A and B are shown apart, each in its own frame.
Chain A
Amino acid sequence: MTEAAPVVQSVLETRFPGVVTPDERKGYEGYIVTKEKLVELATALRDEMGYDFLSSVTAVDYLSEEETNLEVVYHLYKSTGGGSLVLSVQLPRDNPVVDSLVSVYPGADFQEREAYDLMGIRFDKHPDLRRILMWEGFEGHPLRKDWKEAYHNEDTKPFSNRWPDGQIFRSEDKNPYGKNNIYPVGFDPTKWEATEESLLYAGLGKAVGEKGNIETDYLVVNMGPQHPSTHGVFRMAVVLDGETIIALKPVVGYLHRNHEKIGERNTYLHNMPFTDRLDYISSLSNNFGYALAVEKLMGKKGAPSERAEYIRVIMAELTRISNHVWAIGFLLNDLGAFFTPALYAIEERELILDIFEATTGSRMMCNYFRFGGVARDFPEGVLQKIRDLVFERLPRKIDDIDAYLTDNEIVLTRTQGVGILTPEDAIAYSATGPMLRASGVPYDIRRADPYGIYDRFDFDVAVRYHGDCYDRFIIRLDEIRQSIRILEQALDQIPEGSVISGSNPYQVRVPAGESYGRVEGPKGELGFYIVSNGKPHPWRYHVRAPSFINLTAMEKMCIGQKIADVVVILGSIDIVLGETDR
């Protein structure tokens, strides 16, 4: 929630009279900004008031009988810590145009493209405003409330044709292949040519060129979508001068399923298992972020019980360890150390997943958090298993991995000085998580803006200062060690008691308002922006996906590097496509 000090408020109101007005809707704590002065205001906030970190840009469609506005919502933070400043710009539905903030915060790039793609908001002066998740010939903007998909059943779940009028049918029978898509008028998919590609290369701007006296062409290389190092279906269009990269554009969206639209049809509880499927390597961390956002809206009623708070921390930190060993293992895979380091890393992850399976019922799709607590207590013996791991095995094994890899000359030569991201750039590009901290910015949400009970634990914010791939690798080992420290304290302090406050109803009541719950996920800042209108379903449900936004800095890190290093740089960001594409 907004913690804008009165100072900021008075400065905003005196410096920008008539531009900034406090948002007076119930449950909202931000400011409404007129669109003409947005860039000027953002510049002043960044340079004079320290709000240098743009966490999230998204849009909300307030379509109702009284209102037809579209609203763009910005969440700003200080990179030195503290709460958020929420700005929103209201735009008319028929002509939603607002100035782009890319010139002030380059990290807005992909997020504005996403808002354009899914909500149809046009950002003036954006350097490369194209669709990002949907394909170029797509009809409409799917997150608008008046857009309906081909499989549309009812606006909200539960669907009445399941119960009380239960009649079994298969969706495929109602939507046979070939008729399950809506095309623009006059569009013939058999004659479609990929204009998207020419737009992409135009965006790269340097597809063909001349260099000095020698007549030479730049070369465009498409890496992916099936390249094994991309860890999923992800593509990079790279422009090369010889072996050196001069431009790069990530192409995402192959795994897009409109998670947010699904989320707006679901009830609040329904969304919990869907969040597992975002970053499927660290599902408990996703659960945490979503539970936090909804509990913020619920207020006192949503406050988790004491034991549940500890269980949440234990689970989230175990998730971080399992994610980081996985990331390290596969970074080495990308370096060409085929699968031995990866399998050593997976050993430890397996043992953690055994704990998840015994507690939550599933190894990866845990679906464990509930509003006000967690689903069930640890079964007998599991807590002892966690203690064995945390106090005995993991510290030893992490040292093993350390001894195995960190001094290895091949790792050193391949990663040191490769893909450098300076601290200024890291903040400007909205990089978060290990990527930001490896660049020398000691920003960890667990410390900078604590949630849950993280303020009770003694741990250091891991930070490294070179901002290269080696530091991004080594910082993950540092973070695992800090997680083990947190776990040791949590396991010592965990109290007895109920694991959920309240009765765990299947229909939660969420008062109207907006909330932004963010956690320090293993990959970076994972945020859930929720707008409630008091109904059983969220009106707007937005995921600030760290894998997606960390990719914004990909081009910056790659320019000037060799093509062979792209794979390592990508591996060091640690993306998961389930979250990138949503």
Chain B
Amino acid sequence: MYGKGIIKGMGVTLKHFVQTYVEDIKWFGRRYYKPEGIAHRSSKDAKGIFTVQYPEEKLPMPEEFRFIPFLIYDVLEDGTHKDRCTSCGICVKVCPPQCIWIEQTTNPDTGRPVPEPVEFYIDIDICMNCGYCAEYCPFDAIKMDHDYELASYERQFDHIFNKERLSKPAEYYATVRPVNNQLEEAVRAEKAAKKAEREAAKAAKAAEKDAGGESDNGS
């Protein structure tokens, strides 16, 4: 029969249409504007209407989501901020579109570079959100952010982020990427422990040497 294929196809559309209402009744008002409803609509069991009504509804962001880097500073005990960045320049070297500019600090007395950037710029119009800077930073100083709503009225200056705009505290990082943060904390703690151990060993050795030297002198 001509038209059978079309009718069969329309059956699929009809099923889709009906399922939307069946799901609505099943979920009884929790299907829209509620986190569990949104999560359900983007799961393997989703049926019927699929759309998420941005900006009223927003999809949850997975931890690995990356958008525009930011710089991390630690808050010291006395309340001052300490940048983790040492201006080593690795992020600049791995940046594919070359959107990072770092001005190094120099010690006015010696004229040699100090491991701290005086300025740090990222042109977010050029940034391609590849995440290399965060991946290859040896100091966990630059990480990818979750904030994707960056529209602005001015593009000449607002889209070049300076160090002030880029800097965020370490606690913020712990909230956006808790799992990664924990892993990195563990690695850092291990490194610190090893360093302390090495230093202790060194100190012990030095002490021993001193003691040994004295005994040598004595003999």
Contacts and interface: CB of A to CB of B under 8 A. Distances in A.
Given A164-B89, A343-B50, A376-B64, 13 more contacts: A162-B98, A166-B121, A269-B94, A273-B130, A361-B64, A361-B131, A365-B129, A406-B5, A407-B5, A408-B6, A409-B2, A410-B6, A411-B5
B161 to A, nearest CB: 10
A273 B50 CA distance: 30
A158 B62 contact: no
B112 interface: no
Contacts of A44: none
Given A163-B93, A273-B128, A379-B64, A403 B12 contact: yes
B182 interface: no
Interface stretch (B21-29, B101-109, B205-213): B101-109
Contacts of A139: none
A158 B93 contact: yes
30 contacts: A159-B98, A164-B113, A167-B101, A266-B96, A270-B94, A271-B96, A273-B128, A273-B132, A343-B50, A344-B16, A351-B42, A351-B46, A357-B65, A358-B62, A361-B144, A362-B129, A379-B62, A379-B179, A380-B179, A392-B44, A393-B44, A403-B9, A404-B13, A407-B5, A408-B9, A409-B3, A409-B4, A409-B6, A506-B90, A506-B94
Nearest to A380: B179
A400 interface: yes
A393 B136 CA distance: 37
Contacts of B101: 161-163, 166-168
Contacts of A406: 5
Contacts of B8: 403-404, 407-408
Interface in B1-53: 2-6, 8-9, 11-13, 16, 42, 44, 46, 50
A447 interface: no
Contact of B102 (A166, A269, A393, A405): A166
Give the interface centre of B4, B44, B113, B132 by most chain A CB atoms within 10 Å. B44
A90 interface: no
Contacts of A347: 46, 50
A360 B102 CA distance: 27
Contacts of A412: 5
Interface string B40-77: 00101010001000000000001111100000000000
A274 interface: yes
Interface of A: 153, 157-159, 161-164, 166-168, 170, 266, 269-274, 340, 343-344, 347, 350-351, 354, 357-362, 365, 367, 375-376, 379-380, 385, 388-389, 392-393, 400, 403-412, 504, 506-507
A257 to B, nearest CB: 12
B16 A162 contact: no
A343 B12 CA distance: 13
Contact of B42 (A273, A354, A360): A354
Nearest to B113: A164
A107 to B, nearest CB: 32
B90 to A, nearest CB: 7
Interface string B149-163: 000000010001000
B141 interface: no
Nearest to B63: A379
Contacts of A274: 96
Contacts of B50: 343, 347, 350
A170 B8 CA distance: 58
B137 to A, nearest CB: 10
B6 to A, nearest CB: 5
Contacts of A393: 44
Contacts of A166: 92, 101-104, 119, 121
A389 B93 contact: no
B190 interface: no
